[in-house]
Amino acid sequence: MSLEQIEIDAGRLQKQIDELALISENPPPVVTRILFSEADLRGRAFVKKLAGEAGLKVRQDAIGNIFIQWAGRNPKWPAVATGSHIDAIPNAGKFDGVVGVLGAIEAIRALQRAGVNPKRSVEVIIFTAEEPTRFGIGCVGSRLLGGTLSPENAANLKDRDGKSLETWRREVGWANEDLKSVRLAPNCYSAFVELHIEQGPLLEKENVPIGVVERIAAPSTLRLDLTGVGGHAGGTLMPGRRDALLAGAEVALAVEQAALNTGSPDTVATTGIFRIEPGAVNSVPCQAHLEIDLRDTQTRTRDAALAQIETAVRDICERRGVKQELERVAVDPPVICDRRLVNLVAQTCSTLGLPFKRMVSRAYHDSSFMAQVCPTVMIFIPCRNGWSHRPDEYASPDHIKTGVTVLAHALANLADEP
């Protein structure tokens, strides 16, 4: 094989990224592809078609994780895995996850064009529901693969309409196989490498084309239901009101304060969902539903903020006479990427003459859970202003090409390891 001949077709890749972006629940430039939506299903079909065109074998598991395989000379050896997700939160852009999926397929095509004939198979995984939109918990597919989420708990997940994951699975025709079959066997992969946009501003600011991720922050998600007492906005006098929205508003401020109180710039907290009932201008809100996202690079400060939020919820609701139900949806540990793989990607960059930065991922990724299956590392590329999870998210074709080139070289090296 000749690694010097690895040439990424950046034009075709960009066309595919643009085409996939049009498969959305909202008109362009907005990308919304929520798990089980028509757009999600069409997006999956689009990627499978691309894989078929590249002559690659495709299979899907019981939760809808898609595996695209380029068979190696020793198909029984643990394969090298790469991939990411194609689902997108409401009002998102076109690069989050997609670069790591379409980029991985293009990396394989470039390796094939260069005449690489790998010892190990290479598999691109498209993980189901990295985004938490439908069920309130992210990385459903990779959690099941790694065993962090049990099949029973997964089946019982409910969306905001009360419809369970199991019902959805039946409806879209994925229920022939049991969810138990999703869990990966130990040693099924020798390595996992995920290419992703940074979703932060550092690479762009420092004019560095590649980030090598050493650690992934510890995320946690809380769900809070508040029940107050509703009534007529004119007739209900102010003293003694039990307004669920106002309790929720105080909680949202306490969430902000808890993150600020740790004194670490790495603690970040967001109340990203806040719905009220009945939602009429002349009615006191009787119910509020909040979902809170709290992250940190260190468990100690994340846990301190978590405890503070939980205490604040109890105090605020007691003072306001509002009933509360608080659920820890997920509290995940931080991840340390595999040192050998970090060095391998760093060495790949050096060999290619590319500056790189060792860094922390403040977003979570399917890599967070693949790290429990096999040695894992991530490759980051810059995105404009660090913007992500918004329609003007942007990564330049040049940066994408560089990221896919590094991925292709890393995959070639890993797939040739004895």
Residues that bind ligand GLV (CB under 6 A): 131, 138, 363-364
Angle at 47 between CA 390 and CA 201, to 5 degrees: 30
Nearer CB in complex with Mn ion: 189/387? 387
Q: Residue for token digits 């991925």?
A: 407
Nearer CB in complex with ligand GLV: 272/278? 272
Q: Phi, psi at residue 68, to the nearest 5°?
A: -110, 120
Shortest gap between Cβ of 396 and ligand GLV (angstroms)?
21
Buried b (16+ CB within 10 A) or exposed e, 105-118: bbbbbbbeebebeb
Site for Mn ion in 82-111 (CB under 5 A): 96-97
Shortest gap between Cβ of 366 and Mn ion (angstroms)?
8
Nearer CB in complex with ligand GLV: 98/408? 98
Nearer CB in complex with ligand GLV: 108/197? 197
Q: Quote the CA–CA distance of 31 and 131 in Å, as a whole number.
A: 13
**240 Cβ contact partners less than 8 Å away, ≥ 6 residues apart:** none
Query: Which of Mn ion, ligand GLV, none interacts with 364 (beta carbon under 5 to 8 A by kind)?
Result: ligand GLV
Sequence-ordered strand ranges (E) for 93-174: 122-126
Nearer CB in complex with Mn ion: 296/366? 366
Query: Which of ligand GLV, Mn ion, none interacts with 103 (beta carbon under 5 to 8 A by kind)?
Result: none
For ligand GLV, the nearest residue by Cβ is 363
Q: Check the CA dihedral 387-390-394-400 and report its sign.
A: positive
Nearer CB in complex with ligand GLV: 6/139? 139
Shortest gap between Cβ of 10 and ligand GLV (angstroms)?
25
Tokens of 177: 């196989």
Shortest gap between Cβ of 380 and Mn ion (angstroms)?
11
Q: Phi, psi at residue 11, to the nearest 5°?
A: -65, -45
Shortest gap between Cβ of 97 and ligand GLV (angstroms)?
8
Shortest gap between Cβ of 341 and ligand GLV (angstroms)?
21
Start-to-end Cα distance in the chain: 16
3-state SS assignment for residue 50:
helix
Query: Which of Mn ion, ligand GLV, none interacts with 243 (beta carbon under 5 to 8 A by kind)?
Result: none
Residues lying near Mn ion in the complex (CB under 5 A): 96-97
